[in-house]
Amino acid sequence: MSAEQIVRLMNEEDLAVNRALQVAEIPIARAAERVAEAYAAGGRIIYVGAGTSGRVATMDAAEMPPTFGIDSDRFVSVIAGGNAAGVTAVEDAEDSVGSGIAALNQLPLSSRDVVIGIAASGTTPFVVSAVEHAGRIGCWTCGIANNRGTPLLEVVSHPILLDTGPEVLTGSTRLKAGTSQKMVLNRISTIAMVLSGKVIENLMVDVKASNAKLKDRCVRILRELAPVTHDEALELLEQNSWNVRRALDAVGMASRR
């Protein structure tokens, strides 16, 4: 096949990702609600994965603090092979049953926490053993897998099947399976933060202004929510440590919170 033909084939195959997420809309929504409840109760959301699934989970967890202004320990990822596996494949780490349990015990777990296991095959020992252990402790557990009738979906409180079908490259789950996992975690974490009041309208009012681009975004958010000029918004934000919510309070827009 030519490069163009392969692109076309992959585009056609990726349509299965959206179809799978549409089929799973209700279980995804229920998972987001439970994550929001856990967050409100002071619990953590702990992702457990290996390989591509672990790296996808690590990415989602890492993006939560700057996007929604939350503490870095509220969304946590546990990946087979440890932090190094986030950038370098450690393929044999996923076969260890005890390592997943040990990694959760190091946190340590509380019954207020939510544990979400992600594994395309649904059979990864590291992930299955970890979520099963979390369930015994009393955590609400969720499993995300791309194969039906697999152990991960059977041992969790709440299974989410993403039936994306065979990969263009047989067994290469970094393709459709990985894409679907990234999309479902986006939905769960974003919806949970919306339900938790971390968003006004569709604006990230708790975004951390850690660079020039994000400071400019804070100015635009404040101007959209309050009747202020660019210079007034800039001054208000500088006076309030670049906290959009406090700036809104300063101009009497507390009702928008």
Mean pLDDT of 70-76: 96
Catalytic site residues? 63, 94
For 207, 225, 250, the CA distances from 228, given in Å and listed in that order, are: 19, 9, 11
pLDDT in tens, 216-237: 999 999 999 999 999 999 999 9
Mean pLDDT of 43-68: 96
Nearest residue to 167 via CA among 152, 178, 155, 153: 178
Task: Retrieve residue 177's tokens.
Answer: 């399976």
Task: Retrieve residue 10's tokens.
Answer: 């992959």
Alpha-carbon distance of 130 to 77, in angstroms, equals 12
Percent pLDDT > 70 in the chain is 93
Q: Has residue 66 got a pLDDT over 60?
A: yes
Q: Has residue 253 got a pLDDT over 80?
A: no
Q: Has residue 23 got a pLDDT over 60?
A: yes
- Identify the residue whose tokens are 């059979």: 123
Q: Has residue 85 got a pLDDT over 60?
A: no
Q: Are 122 and 153 in contact (CB under 8 A)?
A: yes
pLDDT in tens, 127-152: 999 999 999 999 999 999 999 999 99
Q: Has residue 93 got a pLDDT over 90?
A: no
pLDDT at 89: 55
In the beta sheet, which residues pair with residue 203?
Answer: 200
> In the predicted model, what is the mean pLDDT of the chain?
93
Nearest residue to 153 via CA among 124, 175, 183: 124
Report, at the CATH architecture level, how domain 3-195 is classified: 3-Layer(aba) Sandwich (3.40)
* pTM for the predicted model, two decimal places: 0.90
DSSP conformational letter for 173: T
Cβ-based neighbours of 20, under 8 Å, separated by 6 or more: 146, 161, 162, 163, 164, 180
SS3 at position 56: helix
Q: What angle do CA 54, 55, 57 make, to 5 degrees?
A: 65
Task: Retrieve residue 47's tokens.
Answer: 């992702």
